Amino acid sequence: MPEIIAEAGSNHNGSVERAEALVDLAARAGATSVKFQFIFADGLYLPAYYDDGRYVESEVYHTRKAEELSREDWERIWRHAAQTGIDISASVFDAQGLALLSDLGASYVKIASTDATNHELIGQACDLFDRVIVSTGMASLAEIDPMVGFVRRNFPGTELHLMHCVSSYPCPLERANVQRVRLLCDCFGVPVGYSDHTGGTTAAAMSLTQGASFFEKHITTDRTLPGFDHAHAMAETEFTDYVATLTACAASLKAPANQSAPAEDTTRVRARRGVYAARDLPAGHVLTRDDLLHVRPSSDFQGFDLSALIGAKLETDVQRYQAIGRCPGAQATHSNWQAAQAYWSGEMTEKGMKARDDN
């Protein structure tokens, strides 16, 4: 199963109970971990804007301030996640959030796209965490490259992961640009994930084929709630399907490319052609094309065409519709008609098709 992060973000709306409900949702859906956003308004926003001799209050600052949870709140949420059995972490935006996340014992930290060029915060994260995920929304390769170089030079022991993201909420599928996952893999040689802001599972499945090894998807308990991220987040049923689809897609891509599916062994029996006698043929008869039917079902004869039989002399009598093969001479051989007949009979019954009545 690929790593799938259930992005709870700030969809707790300042409620510990709702945060715990998001933890439960992520666990039931089968996510690898659930992740919140440690947004402390003073570390991310100006409280007011100076404009020509006056100050204009920042609405977003006060909204974020009102939704802040305390250390005690987060400790309770962490305990709930432990009891539920799901890993938990957070995106951080300042030193306060980093310190709190470190104290809580998270296994990884995420730096959001807004700070992809904030080397100071990224360096602080590398000081505290072994695994650091940096989202690359809005960032050019010219901005990502020095950030990766900064981490490699100064924190060579850090497990740096990049996460492709299109910073558009929601993001139309046609603008998901998932081939950028492969570009990031090739350019920087680190694990690359996909922060999916599209509406379904298609972009994530596409990104798997581009090399994405972990995923992030916003979740909510109720898409109608007020808040920055509820409207474009996935409710439980959708997210459960998202996890299941990605898991199935990842399993499909793990199969060896030059290997048929086990189910095809059954299909081969009834779908491949065998060679059958078009009429009763006596031993000693020299086979011509008109003597042979190349039709379903398969038989023990595995020839690629009829040339191995045309011109051959029959070593045994062969009855009409009896399978013909070479063992090594031309003779009657085993037909797989019984297995094929059982398959066709079952399929026709299942699909409401009327079988022939020979009575």
pLDDT digits 0-9 by tens, 85-111: 999 999 999 999 999 999 999 999 999
CA distances from 172 to 52, 202, 226 (A): 39, 11, 22
For 77, the enclosing helix (H) or strand (E) is helix 71-84
Whole-number pLDDT of residue 82: 98
Query: Which parts of 261-336 fold into alpha helices (H)?
Result: 263-271
Q: What mean pLDDT is predicted for residues 162-173?
A: 96
Whole-number pLDDT of residue 356: 63
- Write out the two tokens for 204: 């994530």
Query: In DSSP terms, which residues pair with 159 in a beta bridge?
Result: 131
Whole-number pLDDT of residue 134: 98
Asked if 233 contacts 208 with a C-beta cutoff of 8 angstroms, the reply is no
DSSP conformation class of 352: T
Q: Which of 203-207, 228-232, 240-244 has the lowest mean pLDDT?
A: 228-232
Whole-number pLDDT of residue 327: 82
On the question of pLDDT at 64 being above 80, the answer is yes
On the question of pLDDT at 238 being above 80, the answer is yes
Query: Which parts of the chain fold into alpha helices (H)?
Result: 16-29, 59-66, 71-84, 95-104, 119-128, 141-154, 179-188, 202-209, 236-254, 263-271, 337-350
Which residue has tokens 């399993």? 251
Name which residue leads in pLDDT, 262 or 227: 227
The closest alpha carbon to 124, from 145, 104, 101, belongs to: 101
Q: Which of 128-137, 176-185, 266-275, 288-297 has the lowest mean pLDDT?
A: 266-275
Asked if 314 contacts 284 with a C-beta cutoff of 8 angstroms, the reply is yes
> What distance lies between CA 73 and its chain's CA centroid?
32
Q: What mean pLDDT is predicted for residues 231-239?
A: 97
Whole-number pLDDT of residue 256: 87
Asked if 196 contacts 166 with a C-beta cutoff of 8 angstroms, the reply is no
Three-class SS state of 99: helix
Whole-number pLDDT of residue 246: 97
Q: What mean pLDDT is predicted for residues 186-193?
A: 98
Give the burial string for 331-350 (b: 16+ CB within 10 Å, else e).
bbbebbbeebeebbeeeeee
On the question of pLDDT at 316 being above 90, the answer is yes
Of how many residues is the chain composed? 359
Whole-number pLDDT of residue 95: 97
Asked if 80 contacts 98 with a C-beta cutoff of 8 angstroms, the reply is no
On the question of pLDDT at 357 being above 70, the answer is no
Q: Name the band, by pLDDT with cuts 50, 70 and 90, for residue 288.
A: very high
Mean pLDDT of the chain: 95
Q: What are phi and psi of 276, to 5 degrees?
A: -130, 155
pTM score, whole prediction: 0.85
Q: Name the band, by pLDDT with cuts 50, 70 and 90, for residue 112.
A: very high
- Write out the two tokens for 106: 């998270």
CA distances from 129 to 13, 72, 170, 250 (A): 27, 22, 30, 28
Whole-number pLDDT of residue 241: 98
N- to C-terminal Cα separation, the chain:
53
Q: What mean pLDDT is predicted for residues 230-246?
A: 97
Query: In DSSP terms, which residues pair with 132 in a beta bridge?
Result: 109, 160
Whole-number pLDDT of residue 216: 98
